[in-house]
Amino acid sequence: MSVDTGTPPVGLFTGQHVLAELEGVDPELLDDEQFLRETLHDALSRSHATVCQMIAKRFEPQGVTVLALLSESHASLHTYPEDGSIFIDVFTCGHTAKPELAVRLLADALRPTTQNVQTIQRGHDYEHLS
C-alpha cells in the first residue's frame, strides 16, 4: 500500500528550459566576472534552485562565461560586452525550482533595453502534480 504525502515524487522526467537574449545592457556589467557570478548565484537561490558549483571564465579582450551546476540541472551566461548583449540559459528538472523567475531576476539586475525570452517544456507533462 502506498501513502499519498501530497508531494510529487523525486526524479520526475520533466523540466523547463528558459532561453533568453538580453540586449542594450551596460558593457561594464557584462565584463564584470564577479558581478555576474554573484548575480547568477543570487537569482538561482531566490528561484529555489540548488547551486552545487559555479565556474567562470573572463576572456580577453572582453566577455565572460559563467556556468552553474545545479542539483536540478544547469544555468549559463555568455556575454558580449562589445555588443551590449548576453545569452542566458537556465534548465531545471522537476517543479521546485523556478527558472523563469531566475531569468526575470537576472534581467532586473542587468536592465536590458530589449529582451527575448522563451520557455521550452521538456520531458513528460506532470502538471497535475504541481
Helix (H) or strand (E) holding 30: helix 27-30
Identify the CA nearest to 22 among candidates 90, 71, 68, 74: 90
Q: Which is the catalytic residue, given 47, 73, 85, 95?
A: 73
- CB-CB neighbours of 6 under 10 Å: 6
Q: Which is the catalytic residue, given 93, 95, 128, 130?
A: 93
Helix (H) or strand (E) holding 82: none
Using alpha carbons, list the distances in angstroms from residue 80 to 50, 69, 100, 104: 27, 22, 22, 19
Please confirm, yes or no, whether 52 is among the known catalytic residues: no
Q: Which is the catalytic residue, given 78, 95, 124, 128?
A: 78
Q: Which residues are catalytic?
A: 73, 78, 93
